[in-house]
């Protein structure tokens, strides 16, 4: 049986030096997310969950409604792209999470956001 809901998530992260202040332990990273519906049923993104871990092991958990003020309705073979940002107090960290979604047929499901690294250039070897 073909899966009704097949959503993939790709992430590209970038350090933002002009918005960061290492002297004050403020490191800003932007990330662009592409959510692609590879299934056969449209689905709406309802909410998000993020787990942000700094290099020093400090964890921030965030939950929120939609993404960037929207609840995208993604048709089969379509995608939704958005950019957001995170501030860390260390030059290296990691983010991962999940989107809570609902298919047009009413089925609720979670989509995992794979872990990705946030790193100031030349800090990882």
Nearest to 84 by CA among 58, 112, 108, 50: 50
pLDDT digits over 71-110, tens only?
Answer: 999 999 999 999 999 999 999 999 999 999 999 999 999 9
pLDDT of residue 123: 78
Query: Predicted confidence band at 122 (pLDDT cuts at 50, 70, 90)?
Result: confident
Torsion-angle region of residue 106: left (phi > 0), alpha (psi -120 to 50) or beta?
left
82 in Cβ contact with 108 (< 8 Å): no
Q: How far is CA 24 from the centre of its chain?
A: 26
Sketch the domain layout of the chain as residue ranges: 7-119
pLDDT digits over 17-29, tens only?
Answer: 999 999 999 999 9
Cα–Cα distance, 56 to 64 (Å, whole number) = 25
Cα–Cα distance, 14 to 72 (Å, whole number) = 24
Residue 90 CA neighbour count, 13 Å, CB half: 16
pLDDT of residue 6: 92
Q: Which CATH class is domain 7-119?
A: mainly beta
- Write down the pTM of the prediction: 0.91
Query: Predicted confidence band at 2 (pLDDT cuts at 50, 70, 90)?
Result: very low
Nearest to 35 by CA among 68, 72, 9: 9
Q: Kindly report the CA angle at 63 between 57 and 66, in degrees rounded to 5?
A: 135
Query: Predicted confidence band at 1 (pLDDT cuts at 50, 70, 90)?
Result: very low
């Amino acid at each position: 049986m073909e899966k009704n809901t097949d959503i993939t998530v790709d992430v590209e992260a970038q350090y933002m030096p002009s918005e960061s202040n290492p002297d004050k332990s403020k490191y800003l990273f932007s990330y662009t997310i592409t959510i692609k519906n590879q299934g056969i049923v449209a689905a709406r993104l309802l909410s998000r969950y993020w787990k942000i871990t700094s290099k020093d092991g400090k964890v921030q958990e965030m939950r929120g409604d939609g993404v960037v003020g929207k609840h995208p309705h993604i048709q089969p073979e379509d995608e939704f792209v958005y950019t957001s940002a995170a501030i860390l107090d260390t030059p290296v960290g990691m983010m991962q999470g999940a989107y809570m979604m609902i298919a047009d047929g009413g089925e609720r499901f979670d989509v995992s956001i794979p872990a990705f690294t946030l790193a100031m250039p030349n800090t990882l070897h």
